[in-house]
Structure 1
Amino acid sequence: MNKAQPIKIAILAMGGEGGGVLADWVVDLGEHNGYYAQTTSVPGVAQRTGATIYYVELFARDEDEPRTPILALMPLPGDVDVVLASELMEAGRAVQRGLVTPGHTTLVASTHRVYSIAEKTAMGDGRVDDGALIAHAGAAAKRFVRFDMAQAAVASGSVISAVLFGALAGTGVLPFSRRQFEETIERGGVGVKPSLRAFELGYARADADDGDAQDHAQPSKSSDEAPAPAPRDPAVARLLERVRAELPAEAQSFAIEGVRRLIDYQDPEYAALYLDRLANLRRTLPEARGALLRETARHLALWMSYEDTIRVADLKTRASRFERVRGEVRAQPDQLLAINEFMHPRIEEICETLPAGIGRWLARPHVIHRLVERHTKAGRVVKTSSLRGYLLLYGLARLRGMRRRTLRYELESARIEAWLHQIVQSAQHNPALAVEVAQCQRLVKGYSDTHARGLANYQTLMSAVVRAGARLAPATLRDLRDAALADEHGHKLRAALARHALA
């Protein structure tokens, strides 16, 4: 580093990851080793749409220079020496902002992902390609050090900021020794031992500089790996035997996962209905290729495990969820944890959870309907960490036994059968089109308003498929589906329908 210029360090970290602590460590490191130091921060917005940017400048003290330097408050695009990113998308954001430059910047980033709101709320698979992010970041940086720092933090019992601090030391880009970095942690006096363990892991990985290897490597299966144990439940064993006997090899892995999912969702009898539907499709289309059966097996399982109020309550009251939340907030065994569920069921969800006849009656406009609807507008907060709140949702989840008699089950069963019928109709004149029809189920997902908007787009798309009939090309349907997935309100789908003269 040129001592006539400050050392410029930008840190991008999300809430709870210790970005402020990391910035303070860098400042303390500089101040105790002959540097002026200054840190500023610009908070990101809530709900994982942006991280806080911490900016640190270090300027070497000169005994012959009595004046105090004036340090900048914000990073300047194209003029940052080191960028530390606590997550892969944040590394991409730093590149996008121009903070990372090929001839100047050392980029240190974790390769794990915490999905953004835009990725989570996409109608389809909205995830950004990790490989593309890594490629762009690598091309933009002078040096790119990367590995899964979240995993290293868990392994050391610390937080990711300590791993980043170790990786920063391991790069050797700052004019300080490893011991000076470690002394900085020790001066903090809080969580010193786990922080030093995390520092060691970060230092070792950065010093080895093996970011290009095994970022996303998966363990390979041994050729003599033992087969999965046979299920102990005879009913489940019979279902798996049906999968192997009735479906081609290409579809079996999806069908087995579908059976597992639907047993968890309802019971073995419901999983048997799933296999009955697949077997009926194969009998109707004896010449169907593996791709059609594979995609139908996949999307049929997803549709049959639709998210109703019973399913939502079930997932929110599982012990595994409480354990996951405690782990995410790093709650200690002796700490009390409060979990508030923000519920906003519409009148439609209430009607659909009731037995079909009662649900249809309540759905019609009358005094009781208006009274119930008035009480659903505000929504409510259910505290599942309290006995009252937990029992409320637990009781709702126990309604699973009557799910097949609910209005929602009746509606979804009719939609599923219509979808399967359309797959058969399309396959009779164009098997490739039938595969695209099967994949249109991706539009039907989620709960409440999200489900309603996705279903509306799906129904619009299926109406176009019926109108177009045999003249509809598979590529056209794929384009229409992509348009529907890109915009949950249906504007892009309507524009695409008009473009293809199918409006």
Structure 2
Amino acid sequence: MNENVPVANTGPIRLSTDKPIGIAILAMGGQGGGVLADWIVGLAEAEGWMAQTTSVPGVAQRTGATIYYLELLPARDGLKPIFALMPTPGDVDIVLAAELMEAGRSVLRGLVTPDRTTLIASTHRSFAVGEKEKPGDGIGNPAVVVDATDFAAKRTIAFDMETLALKNGSVISASMFGALAASGALPFSKQAFEAMIRAGGKGIEPSLRAFNAAFERATGKPNDVVSATPHKHFDTMPDTAGHPDLDRIVHRIRAEFPEEAQPLLYAGAKKLTDFQDPRYGDEYLTRVAALHALDRQNGGAGKGFAFTVQAAKYVAVAMAYDDVIRVADLKVRASRFDRVRKEVGAKADQIVYMTEYMHPRMEEVCGTLPKRLGLWIENRPSLFARLDRIVNKGRRVKTGTLLWFLSLYAVSALRGTRRGTLRHSRETDHREAWLSAASGLLASNYDLAVEVLNNRRLVKGYSDTHARGLSKFDRVMSALPTLAQREDGAAWMKRLRQAALLDENGIALDGALKTVGTL
């Protein structure tokens, strides 16, 4: 039964046409996205506006950022507006992305549109899991993202807000707040923005420094130029290193090697001196000097000594292999503890504990032992298996505790015995076989010899990672007899290496090797 209720004739009912300002913030854990959202809401309310914020968390660390969505609207006669709970594609006025690829994702989601959206993004990178897991260079191309955002947004402000914040002792939310103030996308004064930071009560001075630095940066030069390939920076060789052994290394680099290879040689000598000792750095120069002599004899000068340059890089990489001693050494360094404290923003009176996830195998234990003892254990499978059942277990190691710190410190102190270990012997044998194969090609196929040196890029890490890389290296090198007599052998070797770097399981490499087999 329907009941008719008389309604007074009040005229047509019209909905409000006022549109709120929609703001989307894309930020990862630790970047202060929630703080930034609270600042914006507090700022709007302090200026007499109505505001609402909601958030949708990311799925997991670096697989997606948390999206904070805000809507702001001037108050009218005490009426409360109804705000949306999440951003609608094509209906967002301001997007703030705390990382470059998150800016790209905001474009893909349709949050950025050329008719209305101001995009404010930091150009620094925090690499995603998908980028890190690839054996080769899986880093997304930042130039593609910048091109897309320039086309998709009405206005773009993009520079490295993370570095600017760190220089001022703050976090990226403060510098993003400064860039937002400079954009003029919100109708509030700079003084109102600063007052909101002061009202926070914590980290006021560092936040204000980062805010003002970002405001000036966005006002003067709003956009950074990004490149698909990172800029390579080499330290300048000093006139003196302050120690006789180190001075001798610097003098040898200047006196014995071409200018093209000197920056890499200096970087390699520094790395190996840190890895072992100055004598090890001197051994490195002696080995590269022998390769350079062969390079010069086979017309290397006409090719810019490309063989020597690549040898300077990859011989250092091969000699500074990752072993248990190296890992322990890096984990107990004071510089690492200081860096972690700085990254998490710990105060002087706060204690920071780090938990290391380690899974040693008996192979690593034998590799750390003297050569004869390590081989003796490996040659007794039953003994090796029993010991492996004891050792081969996942462990959570707290390096801040006395027991674990002293244990790792004791392992790192084995550096003096490294030259006599089984692992060092095997690394040396493998390195010399690789260099012999490359050197033997110089007279007949110079370019292929260079590519053989470049194959060392496939070998990295330790434990299972090292084993997989070594397996790929051996499979790529297995094509050398086929390619040695071909004029395009260098191009094919490069293709094989690139295929090996495409995926962890080597599926692409399998296909590439089958193709080479048909040549």
TM-score (norm 1): 0.92
1:278 to 283, 288, 292: 288
Deviation at 1:384, TM superposition (A): 1.2
**Are residues 1:490 and 2:500 paired?**
no
Distance change in 2, residues 1:213/1:150 (3 Å) = closer
For 1:155 and 1:490, locate their aligned partners in 2 and report how far apart those are by CA, in whole Å: 42
Q: Tell me which residue corresponds to 2:222.
A: 211
Q: Tell me which residue corresponds to 2:360.
A: 345
Amino acid at match of 1:54: Y
Distance change in 2, residues 1:3/1:213 (3 Å) = farther
- Map residues 362-401 of structure 1 onto 2, 5 A cutoff: 362-364=377-379, 366-401=381-416
Q: Tell me which residue corresponds to 1:420.
A: 435
**Are residues 1:264 and 2:274 paired?**
yes
C-alpha contact 2:360 2:393 (8 A) present in aligned 1? no
Distance change in 2, residues 1:153/1:213 (3 Å) = closer
Q: Tell me which residue corresponds to 1:477.
A: 493
Question: For 1:184-232, what per-residue CA distance to the aligned partner results, in whole angstroms no more than 9, with x for missing partners?
Answer: 3333333333333322222222233x124677999x99xxxx9723123
Distance change in 2, residues 1:246/1:206 (3 Å) = closer
Distance change in 2, residues 1:466/1:345 (3 Å) = farther
1:178 to 187, 190, 204: 190
More divergent stretch after superposition (84-93 vs 384-393): 84-93
Amino acid at match of 1:333: A
1:109 to 103, 121, 129: 121
Rg larger in 1 or in 2?
2
- Map residues 433-472 of structure 1 onto 2, 5 A cutoff: 433-471=448-486
Distance change in 2, residues 1:187/1:231 (3 Å) = closer
Distance change in 2, residues 1:91/1:62 (3 Å) = same
Deviation at 1:441, TM superposition (A): 0.7
Amino acid at match of 2:262: Q
Distance change in 2, residues 1:161/1:281 (3 Å) = same
Q: Tell me which residue corresponds to 2:101.
A: 89
Secondary structure at 2:345 match in 1: coil
2:375 to 353, 357, 360: 360
C-alpha contact 1:282 1:288 (8 A) present in aligned 2? no
C-alpha contact 1:346 1:448 (8 A) present in aligned 2? yes
Deviation at 1:288, TM superposition (A): 4.6
**Are residues 1:58 and 2:72 paired?**
yes
- Map residues 3-18 of structure 1 onto 2, 5 A cutoff: 4-18=18-32
Q: Tell me which residue corresponds to 1:147.
A: 159
TM-score (norm 2): 0.89
Secondary structure at 1:50 match in 2: coil
Aligned residues: 496
* Structure 1 residues not aligned, in runs of 5+: none
C-alpha contact 1:23 1:56 (8 A) present in aligned 2? yes
Deviation at 1:93, TM superposition (A): 2.2
Distance change in 2, residues 1:333/1:279 (3 Å) = same
Q: Tell me which residue corresponds to 1:255.
A: 265
Q: Tell me which residue corresponds to 1:319.
A: 334
**Are residues 1:159 and 2:194 paired?**
no
Deviation at 1:6, TM superposition (A): 2.0
Secondary structure at 1:486 match in 2: coil
| Percentage of pairs with the same residue | 49
Secondary structure at 2:485 match in 1: helix
**Are residues 1:410 and 2:410 paired?**
no
Amino acid at match of 2:505: H
Distance change in 2, residues 1:275/1:143 (3 Å) = same
Distance change in 2, residues 1:242/1:502 (3 Å) = farther
C-alpha contact 2:483 2:493 (8 A) present in aligned 1? no
Question: For 1:309-335, what per-residue CA distance to the aligned partner results, in whole angstroms no more than 9, with x for missing partners?
Answer: 000011111111111011101111111
Question: For 1:147-201, what per-residue CA distance to the aligned partner results, in whole angstroms no more than 9, with x for missing partners?
Answer: 2222332233322112211211111111222233233333333333333332222
Deviation at 1:5, TM superposition (A): 1.6
For 1:460 and 1:342, locate their aligned partners in 2 and report how far apart those are by CA, in whole Å: 31
2:210 to 177, 198, 220: 198
More divergent stretch after superposition (253-262 vs 453-462): 253-262
For 1:155 and 1:99, locate their aligned partners in 2 and report how far apart those are by CA, in whole Å: 31
Secondary structure at 1:58 match in 2: strand
* Structure 2 residues not aligned, in runs of 5+: 1-15
For 2:38 and 2:318, locate their aligned partners in 1 and report how far apart those are by CA, in whole Å: 50
Secondary structure at 2:460 match in 1: coil
For 1:341 and 1:331, locate their aligned partners in 2 and report how far apart those are by CA, in whole Å: 19
Secondary structure at 1:9 match in 2: strand
For 2:293 and 2:46, locate their aligned partners in 1 and report how far apart those are by CA, in whole Å: 77
Question: For 1:342-377, what per-residue CA distance to the aligned partner results, in whole angstroms no more than 9, with x for missing partners?
Answer: 111122111111111221222245333122211233
Amino acid at match of 2:276: Q
C-alpha contact 2:472 2:500 (8 A) present in aligned 1? yes
C-alpha contact 1:426 1:470 (8 A) present in aligned 2? no
Secondary structure at 1:83 match in 2: strand
More divergent stretch after superposition (420-429 vs 38-47): 38-47
Secondary structure at 1:426 match in 2: coil
For 2:223 and 2:421, locate their aligned partners in 1 and report how far apart those are by CA, in whole Å: 53
For 1:313 and 1:248, locate their aligned partners in 2 and report how far apart those are by CA, in whole Å: 36
C-alpha contact 2:175 2:211 (8 A) present in aligned 1? yes
